[in-house]
Amino acid sequence: MKWSLLMMKSLWISLILLFQLHNYLNCLGCLEEERIALLEFKKASYNTWQSIDDGYDKLPSWQIDDEGGSDVDCCSWERVYCNTTTGRVIQLSLDYSYDRFVDDCYLNVSLFSTFKELQHLNLSYNGFRGWIKNEEFLSNFHNLKSLDLSGNLVNASSQTNQVGSTRSLVGLGKLEALDLSTNQVDNHVLPFLGTLTSLTTLSLSANYLEGSLPMKALCGMKRLQELYLSLNNLEGILPPCLENLTSLKILDLSYNQLNGNIPSSLITSLPFLSHFILGYNDFEGTFSFKTFANNSNLEVIDLSSAGGNEFEIEFEDSPWVPLFQLKELSLSNYNLNKKTDAITRFLSSQYNLRKVDLSHCNLDGTFPIWLLENNTMLSDLNLRNNSMRGHFLLPYHVYNATRNIDISGNCFSGMLQKNIGNIFPSLRGLNLSKNNFEGGIPSSIGYMSSLLSLSLSDNNFEGEIPKHMAIGCNRLSVLELSRNRFQGQVFRPHFNLTRLNILRLDDNSFSGNLLIGLSKCSWLQILDISNNNLTEMIPSWIGAILVSAAEEIEFMTKSRSSSYRGDILNFMFGIDLSVNNLIGDIPHEIGDLSEIHALNLSHNQLTGSIPKTFSNLKQIESLDLSYNNLTGEIPSELTTLNFLEVFTVAHNNLSGSTPEMKGQFATFSSTSYEGNPFLCGQPLPEVPSCTIIGASTNPLATTSNDVENKYDIDISAFVGSFVASYVVFLLGLVTILYINTYWRRMWFQFIEACINSSHDFLFDSYN
Ligand SMILES: *[C@@H]1O[C@H](CO)[C@@H](O)[C@H](O)[C@H]1NC(C)=O
Ligand SMILES: *[C@@H]1O[C@H](CO)[C@@H](O)[C@H](O)[C@H]1NC(C)=O
Ligand SMILES: *[C@@H]1O[C@H](CO)[C@@H](O)[C@H](O)[C@H]1NC(C)=O
Ligand SMILES: *[C@@H]1O[C@H](CO)[C@@H](O)[C@H](O)[C@H]1NC(C)=O
Ligand SMILES: *[C@@H]1O[C@H](CO)[C@@H](O)[C@H](O)[C@H]1NC(C)=O
Ligand SMILES: *[C@@H]1O[C@H](CO)[C@@H](O)[C@H](O)[C@H]1NC(C)=O
Ligand SMILES: *[C@@H]1O[C@H](CO)[C@@H](O)[C@H](O)[C@H]1NC(C)=O
Ligand SMILES: *[C@@H]1O[C@H](CO)[C@@H](O)[C@H](O)[C@H]1NC(C)=O
Ligand SMILES: *[C@@H]1O[C@H](CO)[C@@H](O)[C@H](O)[C@H]1NC(C)=O
Ligand SMILES: *[C@@H]1O[C@H](CO)[C@@H](O)[C@H](O)[C@H]1NC(C)=O
Ligand SMILES: *[C@@H]1O[C@H](CO)[C@@H](O)[C@H](O)[C@H]1NC(C)=O
Ligand SMILES: *[C@@H]1O[C@H](CO)[C@@H](O)[C@H](O)[C@H]1NC(C)=O
């Protein structure tokens, strides 16, 4: 008895001792040399990061010990992970830690030569174009298992003496995961990839790869489990040796120009396949959906068509039992009209779906209420542009996983179910546009407190905006109610949609003092209330609403570099208040909208003169002030507006001479000025009476076909440039918006609204 007690005791004591030893080793913290190297890295990153004092310190806990009593043990610093036994750094998460707004930002690899046991290095989103001293790069890191360089500007072909590039990937024999997505990598990278035979994960998405699939490099990677090559310019057929990559789980080749067949043997020889993402390519031939039947791990299938090719998907009529439960299915852009039954049969075998995209498929039938009933986790449902009809009937159940629903461009009709807001309390995007819905907006929409984007355009909706919605949906960024029969005073006084970026209320019967209610919307970028019944004066603060958004951008960019400025600022700003009954003067503060691209105030009852401040609208492309009662002279300063493509002040009471025919003004014809009896000068025809003050005859009397021009503003130029800027914006976004977390957060919602619900949804009112 005693002996065993003693044994127990000594065991206990030695355990405690061990524990203390362990603690002691821990207390040693990180190696001094590693700590110094980390501080060097920080120094290098904020040497170029001028506003570190303004709260932009990305690595605040990385401090020299006498600063604010912080910890000397770098293992306790943020983004640093050590092996608790050896105290050596094994993981560094240095994503978003550098200032990318420096034109030539190269990583000094020597800083990393200390970290001999580093296993995971994340350098994503830092704007690195490459690294200095390539011969050293990472060859030190013989233990490195994962390297994330995504979202930088690495260019495989730029090789100079000083600046290293992908060549230096040679020698990373143990690397298991390499992420080079969203860089500027081209085919020069391929020879070096071939040496990375241990890879299980490789991402080269969103780069500049071209030609056929680089099988020479890939076929050797027998352990490959995840391969991402989407968003490149790859073409040619799927090479047979893909079938030899039998460990493959995720294959993402979407958004390339691959062609030829999708061989069924590819699918049957990859037993672990979970993600088969080949959408938006140029495949040909017929593919039998039944081929997937035995791949029991399948979760994601994306075979969406880029359109205009000869690829067909066969849904067998004979029953078959899939061994998988999909999470995502995207089959956009196929004519599935004759196959509605077969696809319904397949879908009714699935009960774990999260995303379903069957847009542009010519599907008929009624709303698939059973799809929701079967799949309570359904997050995104896209049935846009089909031929479905009937009521938008919903199950009596709360779907709080549902984020986006797009059933636009169908023939759905009837009233919206009253409890729609209770059914989808977590919805982010709802697009019901281009259907035949009628009746009012159910006030339960106000329960959708996460809603970012709501489009009800092109229906027969009527009534007022429910008060509950104007209060409850206060995260809305995009609201489109165009071309319905809405009426009333809209949002006052409870209006709280202060985060709107895009507001389209055009072609309704909204009345009264609507604009006043918008004064809280400091993020507005597109405001279209044309063709309503507004009867107020244009408030002077309108010059401030869009400005505050623009100033924020300017503030963000000024302190860094100007080279990225254009990308964000080209983002569209526009106001269309045409065809209302607006009265009073045009406030000169509109001249503060220095980033506006289109301004349309035509067909109102505005009086007074054209503000001289309009010459500050440096970005403006379209300015329409026609059909008002404006008087006075056209400010000659307007000729400095270099982007002006559309300009009209026709049918007012302007006098004096037309602006000099220089710059863009040389391109405007007399139609821009007609209907102003006291206006003279080129390009108007000679009007002798013009010089006689007080002439009373109007030699250019309005003709009836002017009415046809009534709403013929240059909205297409407006939208065209908007779309272009938007694309540039989106592309730029990935590489830009991380500069500041605040800014990113603000924009995230908007971007999410745009991307998640549907790309083109913002623009198609003009299609
Ligand atoms: C930490 O280092 C020890 C000794 O080298 C090693 O045995 C252990 O696997 C390491 N732990 C981790 C998590 O890397
Ligand atoms: C890179 O870092 C090393 C080690 O800190 C330093 O000696 C060297 O001067 C740096 N090189 C450049 C170009 O900054
Ligand atoms: C690296 O950081 C990025 C950005 O924060 C993150 O999305 C990514 O998952 C990280 N990579 C790894 C391998 O953890
Ligand atoms: C990469 O660098 C090469 C050579 O400097 C250059 O010609 C090419 O345009 C660059 N690629 C990209 C995508 O910037
Ligand atoms: C697949 O691998 C086998 C044996 O490893 C080899 O014989 C065959 O040629 C490979 N197929 C392709 C298409 O590379
Ligand atoms: C799936 O497995 C069954 C039974 O082994 C077989 O009869 C069938 O042909 C397989 N289907 C495909 C598409 O490989
Ligand atoms: C899905 O719905 C269909 C039609 O209501 C039904 O026949 C089928 O059994 C359901 N499937 C599951 C897995 O619940
Ligand atoms: C709608 O889908 C059809 C194919 O079903 C396609 O041809 C058409 O372009 C689509 N229309 C729009 C507006 O996307
Ligand atoms: C959704 O609702 C269920 C049941 O009411 C609840 O358990 C779950 O936490 C909710 N999920 C979210 C994301 O709110
Ligand atoms: C208005 O919305 C903001 C958030 O955007 C919220 O904090 C505030 O409480 C709301 N005000 C009212 C009266 O609902
Ligand atoms: C416009 O508003 C006025 C008064 O606010 C009203 O008398 C008129 O009927 C409205 N017109 C339309 C078309 O709604
Ligand atoms: C336009 O202004 C003139 C002069 O101020 C005035 O006589 C006329 O009644 C106004 N016309 C309209 C339609 O308001």
pLDDT digits (tens, 9 = 90+) for 572-610: 588 999 999 999 999 998 888 888 889 999 999 999 999
Which has the higher per-residue pLDDT, 536 or 718? 536
Residue 502's alpha-carbon distances to 255, 320, 372, 475, 655, in angstroms, are 29, 47, 30, 12, 36
C-alpha span between 552 and 186 (Å, rounded): 35
- Quick one: which ligand is closest to 295's CA? 6
Q: Check whether 140 has a pLDDT greater than 70.
A: no
Q: Which atom of ligand 8 is nearest to the CA of 764?
A: 13
Does residue 533 line the site of ligand 11, with CB under 6 A? Answer: yes
| Sign (positive or negative) of CA dihedral 168, 169, 174, 175 | positive
Quick check: helix, strand or coil at residue 89? Answer: strand
Check: CB of residue 406 under 8 Å from CB of residue 383. Answer: yes
Structure-token pair, residue 336: 């599935």
Q: Which atom of ligand 6 is nearest to the CA of 294?
A: 1
Check: CB of residue 586 under 8 Å from CB of residue 612.
no
Q: Ligand 4 within 6 A of 157 CB?
A: yes
Whole-number average pLDDT of the chain:
79
Q: DSSP strand E in 303-435: where?
A: 312-314, 328-330, 355-357, 380-382, 389-390, 404-406, 411-414, 429-431
Q: What is the CA radius of gyration of the chain?
A: 31
Which of 108, 109, 128 has the most ligand 2 atoms within 8 A of CB, as the residue to mutate?
A: 108
Which-ligand-closest: CA of 124? 3
CB atoms within 10 A of CB 703: 9
Residue 46 pLDDT more than 90?
Answer: no
Sign of the alpha-carbon dihedral angle for 453, 455, 461, 464 = positive
Please, which residues have CB within 8 angstroms of residue 477's CB and are 6 or more apart in sequence? 452, 453, 499, 500, 501, 502, 523, 749, 750, 753
Averaged pLDDT, 345-360: 94
Which residue lies with its CA nearest to atom 1 of ligand 3? 122
Which of 607, 631, 696, 702, when mutated, tests ligand 12's pocket best, judged by the most ligand atoms within 8 Å of its CB?
607
Q: Hunting for tokens 């190297």 — which residue is that?
A: 37
Between 599 and 52, the higher pLDDT residue: 599
Coil, strand, or helix at residue 728? helix
Is 40's C-beta closer than 6 angstroms to any atom of ligand 2? Answer: yes
For ligand 10, atom 1: residue with the closest CA: 496
**Which of ligand 3's atoms lies nearest the C-alpha of 120?**
13
Segments making up each domain of the chain, as ranges: 500-708
Q: What is the pLDDT of residue 56?
A: 65
Q: Which CATH number describes the domain made up of 500-708?
A: 3.80.10.10
Query: Which pLDDT value is given to residue 566?
Result: 32
Regarding the beta carbon of 747 and ligand 4, being less than 6 Å apart is answered no
The atom of ligand 8 lying closest to the CA of 760 is 14
Mean pLDDT for 355-377 is 94
Cβ contacts of residue 368 below 8 Å, gap of 6+? 344, 347, 383
Element (H, E) at 6: helix 2-28
CA 244 / ligand 5 centre spacing (Å): 6
pLDDT at 422: 95
pLDDT of residue 70: 53
Backbone angles phi, psi at 355, to 5 degrees: -135, 130
Pocket, ligand 12, Cβ cutoff 6 A:
605, 629, 653
Residue with the nearest Cα to atom 2 of ligand 3?
95
Query: 264 CA distance to ligand 2 centroid (A)?
Result: 53
* Phi-psi category of residue 69: left, alpha or beta, with phi > 0 → left and psi -120 to 50 → alpha: left
Residue listed under structure tokens 């040796």: 241
Residue 540 confidence class, pLDDT cut points 50, 70, 90: confident
CA of 579 to the centre of ligand 11 (A): 13
Beta-bridge partner residues of 631? 653
Higher pLDDT, 702 or 339: 339
77-88 exposure pattern, b = at least 16 Cβ within 10 A, e = fewer: bebbebeeeebb
Closest-CA residue, ligand 8 atom 3, reads: 360
730 lines ligand 10 (CB under 6 A): no
Cα 137 to ligand 2 centre (Å): 13
Residue 276 CA, ligand 7 centroid: distance in Å:
25
Alpha-carbon gap, residue 323 to 179, rounded angstroms: 32
When mean pLDDT is compared across 188-202, 385-399, 478-492, 691-705, the lowest value belongs to 691-705
Q: What average pLDDT does range 520-525 have in this prediction? A: 81
Q: Is the CB of 110 under 6 A from ligand 2?
A: yes
Minimum mean pLDDT range among 111-120, 155-164, 419-428, 496-505: 155-164
DSSP 625-686: --SS--EEPPPGGGGG-TT--EEE--SSEEEEEPPPS-GGGGG--GGGT-S-TEEESTTSPP
Tell whether the model's pLDDT for residue 138 goes beyond 70.
no
Please determine, for residue 560, whether its predicted confidence score (pLDDT) is greater than 80.
no
- Quote the tokens at residue 732: 């730029």
Q: How far apart are CA 628 and CA 651, in angstroms?
A: 7
C-alpha 134 – ligand 2 centre gap (Å): 13
* CB of 111 sitting under 6 A from ligand 2: yes
- Do 312 and 285 touch, CB atoms closer than 8 A? yes
Tokens of 33: 């040399």
Which bound ligand lies closest to the C-alpha atom of 82?
A: 1
Q: Which residues contact 740 (CB under 8 A, 6 or more apart)?
A: 56, 556
Separation of alpha carbons 51 and 617, rounded Å: 30
d(CA 686, CA 667): 18
Residue 301: how many other CB atoms lie within 10 Å = 22
Nearest Cα neighbor of 684 from 674, 697, 692, 694 is 674
215 pLDDT tier (thresholds 50, 70, 90): confident
**For residue 288, which ligand has an atom nearest its CA?**
6
Angstrom distance (rounded) from CA 84 to CA 260: 53
Q: Which ligand is nearest to the CA of 182?
A: 4
Ligand nearest to the CA of 243: 5
Distance from residue 415's CA to the centre of ligand 7 (Å): 27
Q: In the predicted model, is pLDDT for residue 365 greater than 80?
A: yes
For ligand 6, the distance from its centroid to the CA atom of residue 264, given in whole angstroms, is 12
Highest mean pLDDT among 120-134, 556-570, 612-626: 612-626
Q: If you measure from the C-alpha of residue 536 to the centroid of ligand 11, how many angstroms do you get, rounded to a whole number?
A: 12
Place of tokens 């995230």: 748
CA distance 482 to 715: 14
Q: Which of 172, 171, 278, 161 is nearest to 229 (CA)?
A: 278
Query: 294 CB under 6 A from ligand 6?
Result: yes
Q: What local confidence, expressed as pLDDT, does residue 676 receive? A: 92
Residue written as tokens 């000729």?
Answer: 639
The Å distance, Cα 270 to ligand 6 centre, comes to: 14
At what angle are helices 715-736 and 741-752 packed, to 10 degrees? 130
132 lines ligand 2 (CB under 6 A): yes
Cα–Cα distance measured from residue 445 to residue 470, given in angstroms and rounded to the nearest whole number:
9
d(C-alpha 40, C-alpha 478), whole Å: 45
In the reported structure, the alpha carbon of residue 297 is separated from the centroid of ligand 6 by a whole-number distance in angstroms of 15
**Taking Cα atoms as reference points, which of 418, 419, 416 lies closest to residue 392?**
416
* Mutation pick for ligand 6 pocket among 265, 294, 323 (CB with most ligand atoms within 8 Å): 294
Residue 545 confidence (pLDDT) above 90: no
466 CA to middle of ligand 10, Å? Answer: 16
Å from CA of 326 to ligand 9 middle: 21
